[in-house]
Amino acid sequence: MPSPLTSSHWGTYRVEMKDGEPVSLTAFEEDPTPSPIGNAIIDTRTGPCRIPQPMVRRGFLEKGVQSDRTLRGQDAFVPVDWDTALDMVGAELERVRDNFGHEGIYAGSYGWASAGRFHHAQSQLRRFMNMYGGCTTSRDSYSYAAAEVILPHIVGPMAELLETHTSWRSIAESGSLVVAFGGMASRNSQMNAGGAGRHSQPGDMRVARAAGIEFINIGPCQSDVSDELGAEWMPIRPNTDVALMLAIAHTLVSEGLQDQEFLDRYCVGFERFLSYLMGETDGQPKSASWAAPIVELEADRIVSLARKMATRPTFLNASWSLTRQQNGEQPIWMAVVLACMLGGIGKPGTGFGLGLGAVNGVGSDRAYLPWAALPAGKNPVGSFIPVARIADMLLNPGEKFHYNGGTYRYPDVRLVYWAGGNPYHHHQDLNRLRRAWRQIETVVVHDPFWTATARHADIVLPTTIALERNDLAASTRDSYLVAMNKVTEPYAMSRNDHDIFAGLASRLSACANTEKGFESEFRGGLDEAGWLRKLYDESRERGKKFNHDLPEFEEFLEGGSLCLEPPRDARVMLREFRNDPVYAPLKTPSGRIEIFSEVIAGFGLRDNPGHPVWQEPQEWLGAETADQYPLHLITHQPERRLHSQLDPSTHSHAGKVKGREPCRLNPEDAAARGIKDGDIVRLFNGRGRSISAAKLDKSVRPGVIMMATGAWYDPDWENDPECCRHGNPNVLTRDFPTSGIASGPSALSCLVEIERLDTDPPDVKIHMPPRLESSG
Ligand SMILES: Nc1nc2c(c(=O)[nH]1)N[C@H]1C(S)=C(S)[C@@H](COP(=O)(O)OP(=O)(O)OC[C@H]3O[C@@H](n4cnc5c(=O)[nH]c(N)nc54)[C@H](O)[C@@H]3O)O[C@H]1N2
Ligand SMILES: Nc1nc2c(c(=O)[nH]1)N[C@H]1C(S)=C(S)[C@@H](COP(=O)(O)OP(=O)(O)OC[C@H]3O[C@@H](n4cnc5c(=O)[nH]c(N)nc54)[C@H](O)[C@@H]3O)O[C@H]1N2
Ligand SMILES: [Mo]
C-alpha cells in the first residue's frame, strides 16, 4: 500500500507514518521537482507555535471593548474552553450587528490559508458571514490588484488570461526570445494556489533553453532568472520599467518597426498614445536617450534591444511584482501595448505573458477544469474596500476612496474577523497598521499558529492543519486532483474552521429565517465525507463539458489522485481573437485591445489620461528623498516559505543568518557603509526599522536591497516597538495605493538606508508562544 497523500500550495507529498503518527513527507512520485518546503509542516505541527486551545487576550477578558487596545500584540492570553470562546464571539457579532449593522463587521480576511477545497478557511468564513447577513469585504489581491483592475478595460479579465496563458511548450516550439521584465525567479514556481501535482516550470524553462530560446532579464536582480538559462541581464533601476518600455516603443516607431497591421486590425487608440510617445502632447519624446538616465541603461543598449525584439519572435513577460508598486497599473498596460506594437499577440510563442514562473501554473502545460468549491452564497451587504486599504479604512471611517472609476466611502468597522491570512505579515507599514488596529473594538482570528496576527487578536480560535482533516486539492492551473488524507488527530483542542463556524451558527440566527436553523443551514446537511463526495461529484459533472471523464468517487479515492489529460495543442493566449477579431471579440468596450481607453480617461484621474504613461513614483532612486534613504528596498517572495507560513520550521530557519531574515545587497553599497557579509544590520526609514543580517551579493544591482517577506513580525516591545527585531520588511514599506485606478498595494516602492549594528541585537522572541495566564 502506498503511503497516504497530502497536498499543499507547494506541492503533493506522501506522508510516511510511524506508530500511527506522520513522521515525514516524501516526494510525490509524479513530481519531477518537488519543493523542499514539504517537511516544514511535520516540523511545526506539534511545536510551541501551535495554538492548543481557544484564547482570550487578558485585557479583553477583563474589560471587553473597554480594554486597553494598545496592548494588543504584547498582552498575555488566557486559555478558555470552546463554549466560553464561541459564546463570546457570538455575543460580539450580535453586539456589532445590532449597533452598527453588518457593515460594521470586516471579514475581507485576505490570505492563502491552506490547500483543500472544502476546508478552505476563507470560503468557510464567507459562507458563514453571507448566511449570517453579510459583512464588509475586500476586492482583488495583494498579488496583482493593479493588473486585476486595469486588464479588463484593455484586454480581458486577469483570471481568464492566466487560465489561457501561452504555454512554455508554445514558446519552446515557436518562440525565439523571452524578454522578462522582473525576471522569472525559480524560487517562486514552487507555489501554486490550491496545489501542484507536478512542478513543471524548471523543466519547461530548461526545454525552452535547449530549443534555442534566448532570455533577457530586465530588473534589479540577476538571479531572478536561473543561471541555466544564460540570460542577458539589464539591471534597470526598480520601478522604471514603463520608461524603458516607452523608449523601446519610441525606437520601434522611429525606425518604422511597429506592426501597423496588427495595430489597425486588433487595437484602438494607438494614435492618441503615439502623440504622447513622440512628445506631441508634453514636448518630451520618450526616446532611448530620454529613458537612459531614468532607467540607467545606455541609450544604445535600449535601441539594440528594441531592434532585436522587432526582428525576432519575442515573448514579453511582465512579472507580477511590477504591479505591486506605485502606478503599478502602468507597466502592465504598457507591456500589452508594446506587445501590440510587436504584433505577436495570439500567435504561438510570442505576445505578452503575465507572470511566467510566478507560480507553477502560469505557462504550464495542463488541463482545465473549473473544480467545484464550497458554495458561499451571496453577500447581502455591498460594502467593500480594495484589499490593501485596510489600515486606511480603519483610520478614516466615512472618508472617500477611489476604485475603478467609482468613489466610495470607508465603512465604520468595529469588528474584524480573520481566518486563513496574516495581515501582520502581508500588509505594508505595519506600524501604521498597529495604530489603525486600535480603532477596532473586537478582533477575532482563526489560525493554527501563534502568528503576529493571532497575537494582535482579542479572541483566538485554534484550527487544524491539513494533515488533521480529509479534503480534496485541486487548482484550475494544475491537472491534478489529490485526495488529502487525515493522518493524525487534531492537535490539542484545535478544530476545523468549518466546525468552529458551525458552533457559532448554533448560537446565532441566520439572516433568512430558515426552518432548519443557522447551524444546519451552514452545515448543508452533510458531514466532511458528504461534502467531499458532493464537491467531487459536482466537479465530475463539470468535467464532462471539458471532455474530462472522471471515475466514480470510490474509484478515485482508491487511486488517491488523478491527472487530467492536457490538450494536444500548445496553448496560445488570445488565439481565437487573433484568428478572427470580429467573430471572437474581446470583452473590452471596443472588443479590441484598448491602447487608449475612453473608460479610464473618463475616470478623470490626475495620474492617468487614458493610455499608459511614465510617472515617477514618490519613492524610487530618482526621488529627492533618496538623499536621505538612498537604497530601494525590494521585498520579494521568500524561497523557504509561502509568505509567513511555517516560518518556525527548520527549513525556514536554515535560510536565516544569526536568526534574522537576511537582506542581500551589492558589495559596493556594503563597503561604503563598512558592512561585511554576515554583519547584523538595521534597515530604516521614516516609517520604521528592521533588524537583519547582510548578505553581500553581486547579483543585486547597486542601489538596491533585497529582503524576502514573511519573517514573523516581532516588534522590539521593550526598547523600540517600531523596530522588528526579526527582519520583517513590512515595517519599512509604504502603505499607499498604486493609483486611484485599482488602489492596490505598492510595497515595492520603498526607500531605506542601512547601517551596521555595533551593539548586541535584541533577541528574537516570536517563535515562542505569548505569555499565558490562567483565568483566576
Ligand atoms: N512587502 C511586501 N508585502 C507583501 C508582498 C510583497 O511582495 N511585499 N506580497 C503580498 C502578497 S502577493 C501576498 S499573496 C500576501 C500573502 O499574505 P497571506 O496570504 O496573509 O500570508 P500567509 O503567510 O500565507 O498567511 C496565511 C495564514 O493562514 C494560516 N492558515 C493556514 N492554514 C489554515 C487553516 O486551515 N485555517 C486557518 N484559519 N488558517 C490557516 C497560516 O498559518 C497563516 O497565518 O502578502 C503580501 N505582502
Ligand atoms: N517560494 C515562494 N514562492 C511564491 C510565494 C512565496 O511566498 N514563496 N508567493 C507566491 C505569490 S502569493 C505571488 S503573488 C507570486 C509573486 O510573484 P512575483 O511578483 O513575480 O515575485 P517577487 O518575488 O515579489 O518578485 C520577483 C522579482 O521582481 C523583481 N522586481 C521588483 N521590483 C521590480 C521593478 O520595479 N522592476 C523590475 N523589472 N523588476 C522588479 C525583483 O527583483 C524580484 O525578485 O509568488 C508566488 N510564489
Ligand atoms: Mo500573492
Domains of the chain as residue ranges with CATH: 5-140+372-474+480-563 (3.40.50.740), 145-368 (3.40.228.10), 624-756 (2.40.40.20)
Is residue 191 within 6 Å of ligand 2 at its C-beta?
yes
Tell me what the pLDDT averaged over the chain comes to. Answer: 97
Which amino acids bring their CB within 6 angstroms of ligand 1? 110-114, 119, 121, 142-143, 324, 419-422, 425-426, 428, 446-449, 451, 463, 497, 635, 642-645, 709, 729-730, 733, 747
Q: Does 512 score more than 80 pLDDT?
A: no
CB contact at 8 A, 742 and 404: yes
pLDDT at residue 34 in the model: 98
CA distances for 341 relative to 245, 352, 598, angstroms: 11, 11, 20
pLDDT in tens, 395-440: 999 999 999 999 999 999 999 999 999 999 999 999 999 999 999 9
Residue 744: band (very low, low, confident or very high) from pLDDT cuts 50, 70, 90: very high
Do the beta carbons of residue 657 and residue 693 sit within 8 Å? Answer: yes
Q: Answer yes or no: are the C-beta atoms of 385 and 139 closer than 8 Å.
A: yes
- What distance in angstroms lies between residue 580's CA and the mean position of ligand 1's atoms? 41
The answer to whether residue 565 scores a pLDDT higher than 80 is yes
**Does 776 score more than 70 pLDDT?**
no
Kindly tell me if the per-residue pLDDT of 513 is higher than 80.
no
Contact between 472 and 484 under an 8 Å Cβ cutoff? The reply is: yes
Residues contacting residue 158 through CB under 8 Å, at least 6 positions apart: 144, 147, 148, 151, 152, 354
Ligand 1, residue 446: give the atom nearest the CA. 38
Does residue 553 carry a pLDDT above 80?
A: yes
User: Which residue in the list 10, 13, 106, 110 is annotated as catalytic?
Assistant: 110
pLDDT digits (tens, 9 = 90+) for 134-186: 999 999 999 999 999 999 999 999 999 999 999 999 999 999 999 999 999 99
Mutation to probe ligand 2, out of 114, 199, 240, 319 (largest number of atoms < 8 A from CB): 319
Q: Does 371 qualify as catalytic in the annotation?
A: no
3-state secondary structure of 78: strand
Per the CB < 8 A criterion, the answer to whether 49 and 648 are in contact is: yes
Cell 520579494: give the residue: 636
Strand-strand pairing, 232-234 and 459-462:
unpaired
pLDDT value at 514 more than 90 = no
CA distances from 618 to 27, 321, 623 (A): 46, 17, 6
Confidence of residue 516 (pLDDT cuts 50, 70, 90): confident
Question: What's the rounded mean pLDDT across residues 736-765?
Answer: 97
| Nearest-CA residue for atom 19 of ligand 1 | 111
Q: 107, 46, 40: which is closest to 494 by C-alpha?
A: 46
The pLDDT-based confidence of 124 (bands split at 50, 70, 90) is very high
Residue 554 has pLDDT above 80, yes or no: yes
What tens digit of pLDDT does each residue of 85-98 get?
A: 999 999 999 999 99
Is the Cα torsion angle 174, 177, 180, 186 positive or negative in sign?
positive
Instruction: Give percent of the chain above pLDDT 90.
Output: 97
Burial of residue 652 (number of CB atoms within 10 Å: 0-12, 13-18, 19+): buried
Cα angle vertex 420, ends 516, 636, to 5°?
A: 155
For ligand 2, atom 12, the nearest C-alpha belongs to 143
Residues 6+ apart with CB under 8 A from 401: 385, 386, 389, 392, 393, 407, 408, 409, 410, 743
* Whether the predicted pLDDT of 576 surpasses 70: yes
d(CA 775, CA 80): 8
Ligand nearest to the CA of residue 484, numbered in listed order: 1
Residue 114 alpha carbon to ligand 1 centre in Å: 10
Catalytic residue among 10, 106, 112, 168: 112
Ligand 3 centroid from CA 115, angstroms: 15
pLDDT for 254 equals 98
- List pLDDT tens digits, range 192-218: 999 999 999 999 999 999 999 999 999
CA-closest residue to ligand 2 atom 8: 642
Nearest C-alpha neighbor of 457 from the set 498, 415, 490: 415
CB of 425 within 6 A of ligand 2: the answer is: no
Handedness of CA 739, 302, 634, 629 (dihedral sign): negative
110 is catalytic: yes
140 close to 107: Cβ distance less than 8 angstroms: no
Q: What is the whole-number distance in angstroms between the Cα of residue 584 and the centre of ligand 2? A: 33
From the CA of 704, give the closest atom in ligand 2. 42
Three cell numbers at 724?
A: 522588528
Query: Which ligand 2 atom is at minimum distance from the Cα of 144?
Result: 14
Cα–Cα distances (Å) from 170 to 48, 227, 362, in that order, read: 48, 22, 13
pLDDT reported for residue 510: 79
* Nearest by Cα to 233 from 184, 174, 277: 184
Distance separating alpha carbons of residues 620 and 618, to the nearest angstrom? 6
Q: What's the CA-to-centroid distance between 110 and ligand 1, angstroms?
A: 8
Q: Cα of 750 to ligand 1 centre, how many Å?
A: 21
